[in-house]
Amino acid sequence: MRFVLRRLGSMVVVLVVVSFLTFLLMNLLPGGPEVNYLGPLYVEDLSLCEGTPTGDLARGCAETIDLRDKLNLDKPFFERYVSWVGNALTGDFGTSYRQEGVAVFDIINEALPTSLWLMVYAQVIAFVIAIPVAIYSAYRVGRWFDRGATAASFGVIAIPPFILALLLIYFFAVKLGWFPTVYDPDAEAVERLRSMFMPAFTLGLGLAAVYARLLRTDLVATLQEDFILMARAKGMPTWHILLRHALRPSTFSLITVAGIQIGALIGGALVVERIFSMPGLGTIIVESVLSRDYQVVQGAILLITAAYVAVNIAVDLVYGYLDPRVRHARAAT
């Protein structure tokens, strides 16, 4: 229990620091959100407005001062930070500068399912590839398939996601035209699976390599256990031994790592969504950083960090619950 509380406490600290850093960083970026509203009329250097400006400058000055006032940009930094955090706690992340007036919460809320689907899909693809490969590799340890799979996993791991994405686009979209990447959030399940295949595969293939190596190693170890030898002596069919007896005890570290990978997936989704122009959180964050829509960036980062830290804690807790050694170690503190 103390352990849980401590982890939650550290989560709060992390979130406070991250939110502060985010806020600071976004405020340091050159070129404010005013540009989005005012374009060439934005007067960055307000000393130009002294005296009696004329023509478009007069208009620019008036609009800029007005807008800064409206957006509270002239308030002290710390005051703005506190009010932002205060609002964020009530679910109010402010409104977007780019899609003027649209609540940041709604933007994130709309994009979130896309990102979540992508991550789940990537995990599924990873498992679908990894489990059979691992089982067959373990079944024929050291044979050509095993060696090939090991070599392939090394190769796969060395392909940067954006290059993998490019290869997929080249072969499946440009050459074969099988999987163009028109993602439709309202489409039926089958269509959605098709339209999300390439981005999910890009994310999933790297994971599959990791999972396959992991599971194979554990399976090989399990297959040496006495109860497997016993089962074999009893004349059970090989597939039955592999699937029914060996697989389950071997998946412990796989499941742990799969949980941990959610953190990496959040990061990976940022890149992959952008490449495949999917309207998920990643696309929104990158676009927003570039267009200085920092209300959106702040909200999204806070959310991602919270999710990331929470997943970490959850994995820790589950792991601790599953593994008695860890439970005892914790009890000792």
Partner 1 sequence: MINSQVRARTWGFGRIVAVLVALTLVLAACGGGSDDPEGEGEVPEDDAGDPVPGGDLVYGIEAEADGINPTANNFAIAAVIMGRAVFDPLAQFDEEGVAQPYLAESIEPNADCTEWTITLRSGITFHDGTPLTSEAIKVHFETILAEALVGLVPKDIFRFDQTQPVSDTNTPITIVDDLTATVAMNGPNCNFPAWLTAQFGFIGSPTWIRAAEEDAALNQEPVGTGPFKFDARQVNARTKFVKNPDYWQEGLPYLDSVTFVVSTDGQVRAQSLKTGDFDIIHTTREDDIKIFRDDDSIKLYEDPTEEEGFLMFNHSIPPFDDVRARKAIIQATDRQQYVDLRSAGLPEIPNGIFHPDSPFYTEIENYPQHDPEAAIELATDYCGDFPENCQDGKIKFKWSSTPSPDSDADFDLFQEQWKDVAVIEKELIEQANYIVEVALGQWQATAWRQFGNLDPDYDTVWFDSRKIGPISINWGRIDNPELDRLIDEQRATQDFEERKEIWHQINETFAENGDYLWYTHSIWAIVAGDNVQSVTDFELPDGSKGWPIAEGRHNLAQIWISQ
Partner 2 sequence: MPERLPDSALSEPLTSDAVFHEAPAEVVADALVAEPGGVAGEVEGALKRRLGVAFWIAVGWLVLITLLAIFAPVLPLDDPDAVGSGGKWEGTSGEHWLGTDNLGRDVMSRTIHGARVSLVVGFAAVAGGLVVGGFLGLVAGFKGGWFERIVIALADILLSFPALILALAIVTFLGRDMWKIVLALGILSIAPITRLSRANTLQWSQREFVLAARTLGANNRRILFREVLPNVLMPMASLALIGVAIVIVAEGTLSFLNVGIDDAISWGKLVFEGKDSLEQAPHVAFVPAGAMFLTVLALNFAGDRLRAHYDVREGLL
Residues 6-25 that bind partner 1 (CB under 8 A): none
Region near partner 2 per CB under 8 A, out of 26-34, 62-70, 71-79, 96-104: 26-34
* Euclidean distance between CA atoms 59 and 65, whole angstroms: 10
Tokens for 182? 């028109």
Task: Answer yes or no: are the C-beta atoms of 130 and 142 closer than 8 Å.
Answer: no
Smallest separation (angstroms) from partner 2 to the CB of 76: 21
Contact residue for partner 1 among 292, 295, 304, 315 (CB under 8 A) = 292
> What is the total count of residues that contact partner 2 (CB under 8 A)?
79
- Total length of the chain: 333
Query: Token match 């994009």: residue?
Result: 111
Site for partner 2 in 309-328 (CB under 8 A): 309, 312, 315-316, 319-320, 323, 325-326
Regarding 110 and contact with partner 1 (CB under 8 A), the answer is: yes
Least Å distance, CB 234 to partner 2, is: 22
Using CB under 8 A as the binding rule, whether residue 27 contacts partner 1 is answered as no
Distance from chain centroid for Cα 123: 12
The residues, ordered by sequence, that sit 6+ positions from 197 with a Cβ below 8 Å of its Cβ are: 179
**Nearest C-alpha neighbor of 294 from the set 278, 90, 302:** 302
The helix, strand and coil proportions of the chain, stated in percent and rounded to the nearest 5, come to 80, 0, 20
| Residue (of 154, 155, 135) closest to 145 by Cα position | 135
- Residue in 301, 278, 275, 272 with CA at minimum distance from that of residue 288: 301
From the list partner 1, partner 2, none, partner contacted by residue 204 (C-beta under 5 to 8 A by kind): none
Q: Which of residues 180-209 bind partner 1 (CB under 8 A)?
A: 180-186, 195
Who's near 167: CB < 8 A, 6+ residues apart?
159
- Only one of the segments 79-87, 150-158, 278-286, 300-308 lies at the binding site for partner 1 (rule: CB under 8 A); that segment is 278-286
Residue from 28, 39, 47, 333 that binds partner 1 (CB under 8 A)?
39
Subset of residues 55 to 94 that bind partner 1, contact rule: CB under 8 A: 55-60, 63
Q: In the complex, which residues of this chain contact partner 1 (CB under 8 A)?
A: 30-31, 35-44, 48, 53-60, 63, 95, 98-103, 107, 110-111, 114, 169, 173-174, 177-178, 180-186, 195, 276-277, 279, 283-284, 287, 290-292
